[in-house]
Chain A
Amino acid sequence: MADYYSPEDLNRFQEIGGEASELARKFFDYYGAVFSEGALSEREKALIALAVAHAVQCPYCIDAYTRACLEKGSNLEEMTEAVHVACAIRGGASLIHGIQMRRIAAKLSM
């Protein structure tokens, strides 16, 4: 194996149902339902997915949802803003924990 990640694996996602077809079917049915038009448009959902893909740093998801965003009519400006949303939440999540640090430090300090 040359690499842990292979772009070709993205097109083989369905193979995950190999030894657990019923579970895979349920997952993919659910997945399809999540991304279909609802209170949010498919375009909005793709942008959310792109942001989450960056938050979880999944290269497969980044690949898939970059294309999906473009194919739903989004542009690079909107997609970059979505990535910044992920960045802000990740950064903010670290920073808000700093309050815990300050609280503990305050308790321990004279």
Chain B
Amino acid sequence: MESSWAVYGCTAEPAKAESGVEPFRKKLARLGKTLLRATGTTLQVNLGPMCNQLCRHCHLDAGPHRTETMDLETMEELLRFARTCAPQVVDITGGAPELNPHLSYLVESLSPWVPRLMIRTNLTALAEAGTEELLELFRKKRVVLVASFPSPNPAQLEAQRGIGVMGKSLEMLRVLNMAGYGIPGSELELDLVSNPAGAFLPPAQQKAQERFRKELQRRWGIHFNRLYTFANVPLGRFRMWLISTGNFQGYMQRLQSAFNPLTLEGLMCRSLVSISWEGYLFDCDFNLCVALPMGGMKRHISEMEGFPEPGSPIVVGDHCYACTAGSGFT
């Protein structure tokens, strides 16, 4: 029988490694803090770990070797569930969402009544999936694109995402700009996400955004709306890399040393529900990766109506240190 790890996130159960940090749950208890749900606003839909890239920081172990992707039956159940939630935001992620054969149907179905529909793209999958057709649909439905772009420095970007990815990413950013995405004054929003290319924390978001904007415009004439900087989460392939390079303990300690209790209030898990490609519910995409179901009980979207009750406890693990470091993951 396959382990839950294999089903949800990783192809192999992660190597046991001593993190050397205080367990996150104990940390919260010691500080007298709790992590409880607020009013739900966001549905995050993980269409599966199927991806055309093999990024080294991936917490889901996504890649070309993964074939799991949401089927049409689950998607219909998702649409029913989404109606009962009436979310402000639907955030579609993967893997590479573009590789799911039903993505267009999902966008068509959600866009009329979801105020903010986001798709996370690695930029290169959009080219593989047929750029023109998808891009026309995204434009028409005002889909917000959130693109992975860790660094304007080619060596850093390709160390994380693979050789040859820089050129392809820049080319797709140009295509998106030409379609109106990310251009000042346009309604088509293009945001970038930067994760560090290694076992260190990300720079402050505002400063990094200024630098990215200047560099991307100066060197390649590329525009975007906002940059988000996030710490890498020590799960999946990134965890394996940390352990194999002797960085695991140091990174966990770095995350713990940057723990900021002020981030707890605005953590995304308080207002978000993450749905796996099989239709199971999680507090966040990281809990999905380690098969920690929402509320500690495996529940399917077909069994639920609406967002979970405000005040419900959120399942935590030591990977939560990544979302509570510095400015946090909100």
Contact = CB atoms under 8 A, between A and B. Distances in A.
Interface in B195-243: 196, 198, 200-204, 207-208, 211
B200 A67 contact: yes
A73 B155 contact: no
B69 to A, nearest CB: 35
A72 interface: yes
A73 B200 contact: no
Contact of B155 (A42, A71, A77): A77
Contact of B202 (A67, A71, A75): A71
Given A70-B196, A73-B208, A43 B156 contact: no
A70 B198 contact: yes
B250 to A, nearest CB: 9
Contacts of B156: 75-76
Contacts of A43: 203, 207, 211
A67 B254 CA distance: 10
Contacts of B198: 70
Nearest to B257: A11
B1 to A, nearest CB: 42
B207 A73 contact: yes
B151 interface: yes
A72 B201 CA distance: 9
B229 to A, nearest CB: 8
Nearest to B258: A71
Contacts of B244: none
A14 interface: no
Interface in A43-86: 43, 67, 70-73, 75-77
Interface residues of A, number: 11
Contact of B201 (A41, A71, A76, A77): A71
B151 A72 contact: no
B201 A73 contact: no
B207 A76 contact: no
A5 to B, nearest CB: 17
Interface in B174-203: 196, 198, 200-203
Residue with the highest number of chain B CB atoms closer than 10 Å, among A67, A73, A75, A77: A73
A64 B73 CA distance: 52
B200 A42 contact: no
Nearest to B253: A11
Nearest to B212: A73
A67 B207 CA distance: 17
Contact of B153 (A42, A67, A72, A77): A77
A7 B203 CA distance: 24
B16 to A, nearest CB: 24
A85 B323 CA distance: 37
Contacts of B203: 43, 71-73
A42 B201 CA distance: 15
A75 B204 CA distance: 15
Contacts of B153: 75-77
Contacts of A72: 203, 207
Given A71-B201, A76-B155, A42 B196 contact: no
Contacts of B200: 67, 70-71
A67 B247 CA distance: 13
Interface of B: 151, 153, 155-156, 196, 198, 200-204, 207-208, 211
For the complex of A and B, list the 4 residue pairs with the smallest distance between their C-beta atoms, beginning with the closest: A73-B203, A75-B153, A70-B200, A71-B201
7 contacts: A41-B207, A43-B207, A70-B196, A72-B203, A72-B207, A73-B207, A76-B156
Given A42-B207, A75-B153, A76-B156, 8 more contacts: A43-B211, A67-B200, A71-B196, A71-B202, A71-B203, A72-B203, A73-B203, A75-B151
